Structure 1
Protein backbone atom coordinates (compact mmCIF):
# COMPACT_ATOMS: atom_id res chain seq x y z
CA UNK A 1 0.00 0.00 0.00
CA UNK A 2 2.81 2.41 0.87
CA UNK A 3 4.45 1.64 -2.49
CA UNK A 4 1.20 2.40 -4.33
CA UNK A 5 0.85 5.68 -2.46
CA UNK A 6 4.45 6.53 -3.28
CA UNK A 7 3.98 5.77 -6.99
CA UNK A 8 0.73 7.76 -7.09
CA UNK A 9 2.40 10.73 -5.41
CA UNK A 10 5.31 10.55 -7.86
CA UNK A 11 2.99 10.48 -10.89
CA UNK A 12 0.89 13.34 -9.51
CA UNK A 13 3.99 15.44 -8.87
CA UNK A 14 5.36 14.67 -12.35
CA UNK A 15 2.09 15.67 -14.02
CA UNK A 16 2.01 18.89 -11.98
CA UNK A 17 5.54 19.81 -13.02
CA UNK A 18 4.77 18.98 -16.66
CA UNK A 19 1.64 21.08 -16.91
CA UNK A 20 3.12 24.03 -15.01
CA UNK A 21 6.30 24.23 -17.08
CA UNK A 22 5.05 23.70 -20.67
CA UNK A 23 4.61 26.96 -22.60
CA UNK A 24 1.08 28.34 -22.58
CA UNK A 25 -0.52 29.29 -25.91
CA UNK A 26 -2.29 32.04 -24.00
CA UNK A 27 0.89 34.07 -23.67
CA UNK A 28 2.53 36.54 -25.99
CA UNK A 29 5.92 35.53 -27.36
CA UNK A 30 8.31 36.95 -29.99
CA UNK A 31 8.60 33.40 -31.44
CA UNK A 32 4.87 32.68 -31.54
CA UNK A 33 4.76 32.10 -35.32
CA UNK A 34 8.20 30.58 -35.80
CA UNK A 35 6.97 27.02 -36.23
CA UNK A 36 3.76 27.81 -38.15
CA UNK A 37 4.56 30.85 -40.29
CA UNK A 38 8.27 31.54 -40.04
CA UNK A 39 8.26 34.23 -42.75
CA UNK A 40 5.36 36.24 -41.32
CA UNK A 41 7.39 39.08 -39.83
CA UNK A 42 9.59 39.50 -42.90
CA UNK A 43 6.56 39.51 -45.22
CA UNK A 44 4.87 42.19 -43.13
CA UNK A 45 8.06 44.25 -42.92
CA UNK A 46 8.39 44.23 -46.72
CA UNK A 47 4.82 45.47 -47.21
CA UNK A 48 5.28 48.25 -44.65
CA UNK A 49 8.58 49.41 -46.11
CA UNK A 50 7.01 49.54 -49.55
CA UNK A 51 4.05 51.57 -48.31
CA UNK A 52 6.21 54.07 -46.40
CA UNK A 53 8.59 54.38 -49.35
CA UNK A 54 5.62 55.32 -51.53
CA UNK A 55 4.30 57.82 -48.94
CA UNK A 56 6.43 58.82 -45.95
CA UNK A 57 3.37 60.10 -44.09
CA UNK A 58 2.09 56.54 -43.92
CA UNK A 59 4.54 55.76 -41.10
CA UNK A 60 2.75 58.19 -38.80
CA UNK A 61 -0.63 56.89 -39.92
CA UNK A 62 0.22 53.28 -39.08
CA UNK A 63 1.57 54.16 -35.63
CA UNK A 64 -1.58 56.19 -34.93
CA UNK A 65 -3.81 53.39 -36.23
CA UNK A 66 -2.20 50.99 -33.76
CA UNK A 67 -2.62 53.49 -30.92
CA UNK A 68 -6.30 54.05 -31.73
CA UNK A 69 -6.83 50.29 -31.80
CA UNK A 70 -5.19 49.54 -28.46
CA UNK A 71 -7.07 52.28 -26.59
CA UNK A 72 -10.43 50.67 -27.44
CA UNK A 73 -11.04 47.25 -25.84
CA UNK A 74 -7.34 46.42 -26.11
CA UNK A 75 -5.06 45.58 -29.05
CA UNK A 76 -7.50 43.36 -30.94
CA UNK A 77 -7.79 44.92 -34.43
CA UNK A 78 -11.33 46.10 -33.65
CA UNK A 79 -10.59 49.40 -35.38
CA UNK A 80 -10.19 47.57 -38.70
CA UNK A 81 -13.78 46.26 -38.80
CA UNK A 82 -16.27 47.84 -41.20
CA UNK A 83 -19.93 48.41 -40.41
CA UNK A 84 -21.96 45.20 -40.55
CA UNK A 85 -24.87 43.53 -38.79
CA UNK A 86 -24.18 43.88 -35.09
CA UNK A 87 -21.03 45.96 -35.67
CA UNK A 88 -20.81 49.73 -35.39
CA UNK A 89 -17.43 50.46 -36.88
CA UNK A 90 -14.93 52.43 -34.83
CA UNK A 91 -13.88 54.04 -38.08
CA UNK A 92 -16.92 56.30 -37.77
CA UNK A 93 -16.17 57.43 -34.21
CA UNK A 94 -15.42 61.12 -33.77
CA UNK A 95 -11.64 60.74 -33.21
CA UNK A 96 -11.35 58.43 -36.24
CA UNK A 97 -13.77 59.62 -38.92
CA UNK A 98 -12.00 61.08 -41.97
CA UNK A 99 -8.79 61.02 -39.95
CA UNK A 100 -7.41 57.58 -39.14
CA UNK A 101 -5.85 55.94 -42.20
CA UNK A 102 -3.60 53.10 -43.34
CA UNK A 103 -6.26 50.40 -43.44
CA UNK A 104 -5.35 49.37 -46.98
CA UNK A 105 -1.72 48.79 -45.94
CA UNK A 106 -2.75 46.39 -43.18
CA UNK A 107 -5.08 44.59 -45.60
CA UNK A 108 -2.22 44.29 -48.11
CA UNK A 109 0.03 42.76 -45.46
CA UNK A 110 -2.74 40.37 -44.46
CA UNK A 111 -3.21 39.22 -48.07
CA UNK A 112 0.50 38.55 -48.46
CA UNK A 113 0.66 36.54 -45.23
CA UNK A 114 -2.52 34.60 -46.04
CA UNK A 115 -1.01 33.30 -49.27
CA UNK A 116 1.51 31.19 -47.41
CA UNK A 117 -0.07 30.88 -43.97
CA UNK A 118 -3.87 30.93 -44.19
CA UNK A 119 -5.76 31.68 -40.95
CA UNK A 120 -2.64 31.69 -38.76
CA UNK A 121 -1.49 35.29 -38.30
CA UNK A 122 -3.94 37.71 -36.70
CA UNK A 123 -4.71 41.18 -37.96
CA UNK A 124 -3.98 42.42 -34.43
CA UNK A 125 -0.42 41.11 -34.64
CA UNK A 126 0.01 42.50 -38.16
CA UNK A 127 -1.05 45.94 -36.93
CA UNK A 128 1.34 45.72 -33.98
CA UNK A 129 4.27 44.73 -36.19
CA UNK A 130 3.34 47.41 -38.73
CA UNK A 131 3.70 50.14 -36.10
CA UNK A 132 7.20 48.94 -35.20
CA UNK A 133 8.26 48.56 -38.82
CA UNK A 134 6.85 52.00 -39.68
CA UNK A 135 8.98 53.57 -36.96
CA UNK A 136 12.12 51.91 -38.28
CA UNK A 137 11.29 52.90 -41.87
CA UNK A 138 11.55 56.62 -40.99
CA UNK A 139 14.62 56.39 -38.78
CA UNK A 140 12.87 55.68 -35.48
CA UNK A 141 13.67 53.07 -32.85
CA UNK A 142 12.93 49.37 -33.06
CA UNK A 143 11.72 47.02 -30.33
CA UNK A 144 10.88 43.38 -29.80
CA UNK A 145 7.21 42.62 -30.50
CA UNK A 146 5.66 39.77 -28.58
CA UNK A 147 3.05 38.00 -30.70
CA UNK A 148 0.03 35.78 -30.25
CA UNK A 149 -2.88 38.26 -30.23
CA UNK A 150 -6.18 37.15 -31.68
CA UNK A 151 -8.77 39.29 -33.45
CA UNK A 152 -11.96 40.56 -31.88
CA UNK A 153 -15.40 39.75 -33.24
CA UNK A 154 -16.78 43.11 -32.11
CA UNK A 155 -16.07 46.81 -32.35
CA UNK A 156 -16.85 49.52 -29.81
CA UNK A 157 -17.63 52.89 -31.32
CA UNK A 158 -18.90 54.28 -28.01
CA UNK A 159 -15.61 53.50 -26.28
CA UNK A 160 -13.66 55.04 -29.15
CA UNK A 161 -15.62 58.25 -28.59
CA UNK A 162 -14.92 58.31 -24.85
CA UNK A 163 -11.47 56.77 -24.38
CA UNK A 164 -9.35 58.24 -27.16
CA UNK A 165 -7.66 61.51 -26.10
CA UNK A 166 -8.30 64.45 -28.39
CA UNK A 167 -6.32 67.43 -29.72
CA UNK A 168 -7.92 69.79 -27.17
CA UNK A 169 -7.19 67.64 -24.10
CA UNK A 170 -5.73 69.20 -20.99
CA UNK A 171 -2.71 67.69 -19.28
CA UNK A 172 -4.91 66.24 -16.53
CA UNK A 173 -7.20 64.66 -19.12
CA UNK A 174 -4.24 63.14 -20.97
CA UNK A 175 -2.72 61.69 -17.81
CA UNK A 176 -6.10 60.24 -16.87
CA UNK A 177 -6.77 58.74 -20.31
CA UNK A 178 -3.38 57.03 -20.45
CA UNK A 179 -3.54 56.03 -16.81
CA UNK A 180 -6.85 54.27 -17.44
CA UNK A 181 -4.97 52.03 -19.87
CA UNK A 182 -2.17 51.28 -17.41
CA UNK A 183 0.27 53.74 -18.97
CA UNK A 184 2.30 56.21 -16.90
CA UNK A 185 2.79 59.95 -17.54
CA UNK A 186 6.26 59.07 -18.87
CA UNK A 187 4.69 56.62 -21.31
CA UNK A 188 2.21 59.29 -22.31
CA UNK A 189 4.86 61.91 -23.07
CA UNK A 190 7.07 59.42 -24.90
CA UNK A 191 4.18 58.15 -27.03
CA UNK A 192 3.17 61.73 -27.83
CA UNK A 193 6.62 61.99 -29.38
CA UNK A 194 5.28 60.06 -32.36
CA UNK A 195 4.02 63.50 -33.43
CA UNK A 196 7.55 64.11 -34.61
CA UNK A 197 6.10 62.69 -37.84
CA UNK A 198 2.69 63.11 -39.41
CA UNK A 199 0.22 65.91 -40.02
CA UNK A 200 -2.89 67.38 -38.44
CA UNK A 201 -6.04 68.90 -39.93
CA UNK A 202 -6.69 72.63 -39.61
CA UNK A 203 -9.85 72.03 -37.56
CA UNK A 204 -7.75 70.44 -34.80
CA UNK A 205 -5.44 73.43 -34.28
CA UNK A 206 -7.36 76.50 -35.56
CA UNK A 207 -8.39 77.64 -32.07
CA UNK A 208 -4.79 77.50 -30.89
CA UNK A 209 -3.22 79.54 -33.69
CA UNK A 210 -5.87 82.28 -33.50
CA UNK A 211 -5.96 82.47 -29.71
CA UNK A 212 -3.08 84.96 -29.26
CA UNK A 213 -2.27 83.03 -26.11
CA UNK A 214 0.96 83.20 -24.16
CA UNK A 215 1.76 79.53 -24.79
CA UNK A 216 2.34 79.87 -28.54
CA UNK A 217 5.15 81.53 -30.45
CA UNK A 218 3.52 84.36 -32.49
CA UNK A 219 5.69 83.76 -35.56
CA UNK A 220 4.78 80.09 -35.51
CA UNK A 221 1.07 80.96 -35.21
CA UNK A 222 1.35 83.40 -38.11
CA UNK A 223 2.99 80.77 -40.32
CA UNK A 224 0.28 78.23 -39.59
CA UNK A 225 -2.49 80.73 -40.37
CA UNK A 226 -1.37 80.80 -44.01
CA UNK A 227 -2.87 77.37 -44.63
CA UNK A 228 -5.52 77.38 -41.90
CA UNK A 229 -8.01 80.26 -42.30
CA UNK A 230 -10.42 81.25 -39.55
CA UNK A 231 -13.28 79.82 -41.57
CA UNK A 232 -13.18 76.98 -44.07
CA UNK A 233 -10.30 74.71 -44.93
CA UNK A 234 -11.01 72.34 -42.06
CA UNK A 235 -9.18 69.44 -43.71
CA UNK A 236 -6.11 71.45 -44.72
CA UNK A 237 -3.02 69.73 -43.38
CA UNK A 238 0.01 71.02 -41.50
CA UNK A 239 3.02 69.03 -40.24
CA UNK A 240 3.10 68.33 -36.53
CA UNK A 241 6.84 68.97 -36.67
CA UNK A 242 7.80 71.87 -38.95
CA UNK A 243 11.52 71.06 -38.92
CA UNK A 244 11.75 67.38 -39.91
CA UNK A 245 8.15 66.26 -40.55
CA UNK A 246 8.96 62.90 -42.15
CA UNK A 247 11.92 61.84 -39.99
CA UNK A 248 11.61 60.27 -36.56
CA UNK A 249 13.70 62.37 -34.16
CA UNK A 250 13.30 64.53 -31.05
CA UNK A 251 12.52 67.82 -32.80
CA UNK A 252 8.92 67.53 -31.63
CA UNK A 253 10.10 68.18 -28.07
CA UNK A 254 12.37 71.01 -29.14
CA UNK A 255 9.31 72.58 -30.74
CA UNK A 256 7.39 72.36 -27.47
CA UNK A 257 10.20 74.09 -25.58
CA UNK A 258 10.01 76.89 -28.17
CA UNK A 259 6.18 77.08 -27.78
CA UNK A 260 5.70 75.67 -31.28
CA UNK A 261 3.52 72.70 -30.52
CA UNK A 262 0.79 72.51 -33.17
CA UNK A 263 -1.98 70.98 -31.02
CA UNK A 264 -3.11 72.07 -27.60
CA UNK A 265 -2.59 68.49 -26.45
CA UNK A 266 1.02 68.80 -27.59
CA UNK A 267 1.90 72.09 -25.94
CA UNK A 268 0.33 71.21 -22.57
CA UNK A 269 3.06 68.61 -22.13
CA UNK A 270 5.49 71.48 -21.54
CA UNK A 271 3.72 72.44 -18.32
CA UNK A 272 3.48 71.30 -14.72
CA UNK A 273 4.53 67.72 -13.93
CA UNK A 274 5.69 66.77 -17.45
CA UNK A 275 7.64 69.95 -18.28
CA UNK A 276 11.00 68.56 -17.18
CA UNK A 277 10.53 65.34 -19.14
CA UNK A 278 9.87 67.32 -22.32
CA UNK A 279 13.06 69.30 -21.66
CA UNK A 280 15.01 66.07 -21.10
CA UNK A 281 13.75 64.55 -24.35
CA UNK A 282 14.56 67.75 -26.23
CA UNK A 283 18.17 67.46 -25.06
CA UNK A 284 18.58 63.68 -25.13
CA UNK A 285 17.29 61.94 -28.28
CA UNK A 286 18.64 58.59 -27.11
CA UNK A 287 16.53 58.70 -23.96
CA UNK A 288 13.45 59.61 -25.97
CA UNK A 289 14.02 56.77 -28.43
CA UNK A 290 14.50 54.27 -25.61
CA UNK A 291 11.44 55.44 -23.67
CA UNK A 292 9.33 55.51 -26.82
CA UNK A 293 10.21 51.91 -27.67
CA UNK A 294 9.43 50.77 -24.11
CA UNK A 295 6.12 52.63 -24.09
CA UNK A 296 5.14 51.15 -27.45
CA UNK A 297 5.69 47.66 -26.05
CA UNK A 298 3.51 48.42 -23.04
CA UNK A 299 0.81 49.97 -25.20
CA UNK A 300 0.83 47.01 -27.60
CA UNK A 301 0.06 44.67 -24.73
CA UNK A 302 -3.04 46.44 -23.41
CA UNK A 303 -5.66 43.72 -22.88
CA UNK A 304 -4.69 41.49 -25.81
CA UNK A 305 -7.18 38.80 -26.84
CA UNK A 306 -5.39 35.48 -26.31
CA UNK A 307 -5.72 31.69 -26.38
CA UNK A 308 -9.14 30.41 -27.38
CA UNK A 309 -10.70 33.86 -27.25
CA UNK A 310 -11.35 35.80 -30.42
CA UNK A 311 -10.64 34.57 -33.94
CA UNK A 312 -8.10 34.79 -36.75
CA UNK A 313 -9.82 36.82 -39.47
CA UNK A 314 -9.47 35.92 -43.13
CA UNK A 315 -9.56 39.62 -43.99
CA UNK A 316 -9.09 42.40 -41.51
CA UNK A 317 -12.19 44.48 -42.17
CA UNK A 318 -14.80 41.76 -41.58
CA UNK A 319 -15.70 38.80 -39.39
CA UNK A 320 -15.15 35.42 -41.04
Structure 2
Protein backbone atom coordinates (compact mmCIF):
# COMPACT_ATOMS: atom_id res chain seq x y z
CA UNK A 1 0.00 0.00 0.00
CA UNK A 2 1.43 3.35 -0.99
CA UNK A 3 0.88 6.39 1.21
CA UNK A 4 0.47 9.84 -0.33
CA UNK A 5 1.06 12.99 1.68
CA UNK A 6 -2.20 14.90 2.05
CA UNK A 7 -0.92 18.36 1.11
CA UNK A 8 1.97 20.83 1.26
CA UNK A 9 1.99 20.94 5.08
CA UNK A 10 2.32 17.59 6.87
CA UNK A 11 -0.74 16.58 8.88
CA UNK A 12 -0.67 14.58 12.09
CA UNK A 13 -1.46 11.49 9.97
CA UNK A 14 1.56 12.22 7.72
CA UNK A 15 3.82 12.64 10.74
CA UNK A 16 2.61 9.41 12.36
CA UNK A 17 3.18 7.52 9.11
CA UNK A 18 6.67 8.95 8.72
CA UNK A 19 7.58 8.20 12.32
CA UNK A 20 6.19 4.67 12.22
CA UNK A 21 8.53 3.95 9.31
CA UNK A 22 11.40 4.40 11.79
CA UNK A 23 9.97 1.69 14.06
CA UNK A 24 9.11 3.97 17.00
CA UNK A 25 6.15 3.29 19.33
CA UNK A 26 3.18 5.72 19.46
CA UNK A 27 4.08 7.17 22.87
CA UNK A 28 7.58 7.98 21.68
CA UNK A 29 6.13 9.45 18.47
CA UNK A 30 4.07 11.94 20.47
CA UNK A 31 7.15 13.01 22.34
CA UNK A 32 9.20 13.06 19.14
CA UNK A 33 6.76 15.59 17.65
CA UNK A 34 8.01 18.14 20.18
CA UNK A 35 10.61 19.21 17.63
CA UNK A 36 8.80 21.33 15.04
CA UNK A 37 9.06 24.43 12.87
CA UNK A 38 7.95 28.04 13.41
CA UNK A 39 4.25 28.70 12.95
CA UNK A 40 3.69 32.50 12.90
CA UNK A 41 0.82 32.25 10.40
CA UNK A 42 -1.37 30.76 13.16
CA UNK A 43 -1.53 34.15 14.86
CA UNK A 44 -2.50 36.43 11.98
CA UNK A 45 -3.64 34.47 8.94
CA UNK A 46 -4.63 30.93 9.83
CA UNK A 47 -5.65 29.00 6.70
CA UNK A 48 -5.71 32.34 4.84
CA UNK A 49 -8.68 33.58 6.93
CA UNK A 50 -6.98 36.79 8.03
CA UNK A 51 -7.50 35.75 11.65
CA UNK A 52 -5.94 33.48 14.26
CA UNK A 53 -6.26 29.72 14.64
CA UNK A 54 -9.56 29.20 16.51
CA UNK A 55 -8.11 26.26 18.47
CA UNK A 56 -5.70 28.63 20.27
CA UNK A 57 -6.66 29.87 23.72
CA UNK A 58 -7.24 33.65 24.02
CA UNK A 59 -4.44 33.83 26.59
CA UNK A 60 -1.89 32.23 24.25
CA UNK A 61 -3.03 34.36 21.32
CA UNK A 62 -2.42 37.55 23.32
CA UNK A 63 1.00 36.26 24.46
CA UNK A 64 2.09 35.41 20.92
CA UNK A 65 0.81 38.66 19.41
CA UNK A 66 2.85 40.53 22.01
CA UNK A 67 5.98 38.48 21.30
CA UNK A 68 5.53 38.28 17.50
CA UNK A 69 3.98 41.52 16.18
CA UNK A 70 3.08 41.69 12.49
CA UNK A 71 5.97 44.08 11.84
CA UNK A 72 9.00 43.97 14.08
CA UNK A 73 12.67 44.84 13.97
CA UNK A 74 13.31 42.41 16.83
CA UNK A 75 14.82 39.19 15.54
CA UNK A 76 14.77 37.29 18.82
CA UNK A 77 11.07 36.57 18.92
CA UNK A 78 11.35 33.04 20.24
CA UNK A 79 8.70 31.54 22.49
CA UNK A 80 8.90 28.29 24.46
CA UNK A 81 6.88 25.36 23.17
CA UNK A 82 6.14 24.41 26.78
CA UNK A 83 4.55 27.61 28.09
CA UNK A 84 4.34 26.48 31.72
CA UNK A 85 7.71 24.88 32.51
CA UNK A 86 10.04 25.47 29.53
CA UNK A 87 13.20 24.46 31.42
CA UNK A 88 11.89 21.18 32.83
CA UNK A 89 11.12 17.77 31.41
CA UNK A 90 7.60 17.06 32.64
CA UNK A 91 4.12 16.54 31.24
CA UNK A 92 3.06 20.21 31.40
CA UNK A 93 3.47 20.54 27.62
CA UNK A 94 0.71 17.96 27.23
CA UNK A 95 -1.43 19.61 29.93
CA UNK A 96 -1.13 22.94 28.12
CA UNK A 97 -1.99 21.67 24.64
CA UNK A 98 -5.18 20.20 26.10
CA UNK A 99 -6.09 23.76 27.21
CA UNK A 100 -5.49 25.20 23.72
CA UNK A 101 -2.05 26.54 24.64
CA UNK A 102 -0.14 24.74 21.91
CA UNK A 103 2.26 27.23 20.35
CA UNK A 104 2.42 25.45 16.98
CA UNK A 105 -0.47 24.14 14.93
CA UNK A 106 0.84 20.59 15.22
CA UNK A 107 0.60 20.95 19.02
CA UNK A 108 -3.16 21.37 18.76
CA UNK A 109 -3.38 18.60 16.17
CA UNK A 110 -1.72 16.29 18.69
CA UNK A 111 -4.14 17.36 21.45
CA UNK A 112 -7.30 17.13 19.34
CA UNK A 113 -6.50 14.49 16.72
CA UNK A 114 -8.37 11.21 16.85
CA UNK A 115 -5.11 9.27 16.48
CA UNK A 116 -3.28 11.05 19.33
CA UNK A 117 -5.87 12.53 21.73
CA UNK A 118 -5.98 9.40 23.91
CA UNK A 119 -2.19 9.28 24.06
CA UNK A 120 -2.10 12.90 25.28
CA UNK A 121 -4.78 12.11 27.89
CA UNK A 122 -2.76 9.10 29.06
CA UNK A 123 0.41 11.18 29.40
CA UNK A 124 -1.38 13.93 31.34
CA UNK A 125 -2.94 11.46 33.78
CA UNK A 126 -0.01 9.05 34.14
CA UNK A 127 1.80 9.18 37.51
CA UNK A 128 4.66 7.21 35.89
CA UNK A 129 5.45 9.94 33.34
CA UNK A 130 9.16 10.18 34.20
CA UNK A 131 9.75 6.44 33.96
CA UNK A 132 7.93 6.17 30.64
CA UNK A 133 9.64 9.27 29.27
CA UNK A 134 13.02 7.75 30.14
CA UNK A 135 12.01 4.50 28.43
CA UNK A 136 10.91 6.47 25.35
CA UNK A 137 14.27 8.25 25.17
CA UNK A 138 16.10 4.91 25.35
CA UNK A 139 13.94 3.61 22.48
CA UNK A 140 14.62 6.75 20.46
CA UNK A 141 18.32 6.21 21.01
CA UNK A 142 18.00 2.87 19.23
CA UNK A 143 16.24 4.21 16.14
CA UNK A 144 18.45 3.92 13.07
CA UNK A 145 21.66 3.95 15.07
CA UNK A 146 24.64 4.59 12.82
CA UNK A 147 27.91 2.85 13.56
CA UNK A 148 31.54 3.19 12.52
CA UNK A 149 31.94 5.06 9.21
CA UNK A 150 28.19 5.51 8.64
CA UNK A 151 27.94 8.76 10.57
CA UNK A 152 29.26 12.28 10.22
CA UNK A 153 28.96 15.62 11.95
CA UNK A 154 27.34 17.86 9.38
CA UNK A 155 28.72 21.31 8.71
CA UNK A 156 25.19 22.36 7.69
CA UNK A 157 22.12 20.49 8.96
CA UNK A 158 20.51 20.84 5.53
CA UNK A 159 23.05 18.91 3.46
CA UNK A 160 25.35 15.93 3.70
CA UNK A 161 29.02 16.92 3.84
CA UNK A 162 30.91 16.65 0.56
CA UNK A 163 33.40 13.83 0.52
CA UNK A 164 37.00 14.98 0.03
CA UNK A 165 38.51 14.32 -3.37
CA UNK A 166 41.32 11.79 -3.21
CA UNK A 167 43.64 11.98 -6.21
CA UNK A 168 43.99 8.60 -7.88
CA UNK A 169 41.46 6.94 -5.64
CA UNK A 170 37.78 6.25 -5.64
CA UNK A 171 35.51 7.40 -2.85
Q: TM-score, normalised by structure 1?
A: 0.39
Query: Cα gap change, 1:217/1:316 in structure 2, threshold over 3 Å: closer, same or farther?
Result: closer
Alpha-carbon contact 1:249-1:285 (below 8 Å) kept: no
Deviation of 1:234 after TM superposition, in Å, equals 6.0
RMSD between superposed Cα atoms in Å: 3.0
Deviation of 1:285 after TM superposition, in Å, equals 4.7
What is the aligned counterpart of 1:230 among 55, 63, 70? 70
The superposition leaves residues 51-104 of structure 1 with CA deviations (integer Å, 9 ceiling, x where unpaired) of: xxxxxxxxxxxxxxxxxxxxxxxxxxxxxxxxxxxxxxxxxxxxxxxxxxxxxx
Query: Cα gap change, 1:311/1:260 in structure 2, threshold over 3 Å: closer, same or farther?
Result: closer
- 1:281 matched residue in structure 2: 123
Query: Cα gap change, 1:285/1:265 in structure 2, threshold over 3 Å: closer, same or farther?
Result: farther
What is the aligned counterpart of 2:114 among 272, 280, 286? 272
1:191 aligns with 2:32: yes
Query: Cα gap change, 1:303/1:311 in structure 2, threshold over 3 Å: closer, same or farther?
Result: closer
- Unpaired segments ≥5 residues, structure 1: 1-167
The superposition leaves residues 22-68 of structure 1 with CA deviations (integer Å, 9 ceiling, x where unpaired) of: xxxxxxxxxxxxxxxxxxxxxxxxxxxxxxxxxxxxxxxxxxxxxxx
- Unpaired segments ≥5 residues, structure 2: 1-8, 47-51, 156-160, 165-171
Query: Cα gap change, 1:248/1:305 in structure 2, threshold over 3 Å: closer, same or farther?
Result: closer
Deviation of 1:244 after TM superposition, in Å, equals 1.2
Query: Cα gap change, 1:182/1:312 in structure 2, threshold over 3 Å: closer, same or farther?
Result: closer
- 2:158 matched residue in structure 1: none
Query: Cα gap change, 1:280/1:235 in structure 2, threshold over 3 Å: closer, same or farther?
Result: same
Q: TM-score, normalised by structure 2?
A: 0.68
- 2:12 matched residue in structure 1: 171
- Which secondary structure state, in structure 2, belongs to the residue aligned with residue 247 of structure 1? coil
- 1:207 matched residue in structure 2: 41
Query: Cα gap change, 1:316/1:219 in structure 2, threshold over 3 Å: closer, same or farther?
Result: closer
1:310 aligns with 2:152: no
| Partner Cα separation in structure 1 for residue 117 and residue 133 of structure 2 | 17
Query: Cα gap change, 1:224/1:187 in structure 2, threshold over 3 Å: closer, same or farther?
Result: same
Alpha-carbon contact 1:187-1:291 (below 8 Å) kept: no
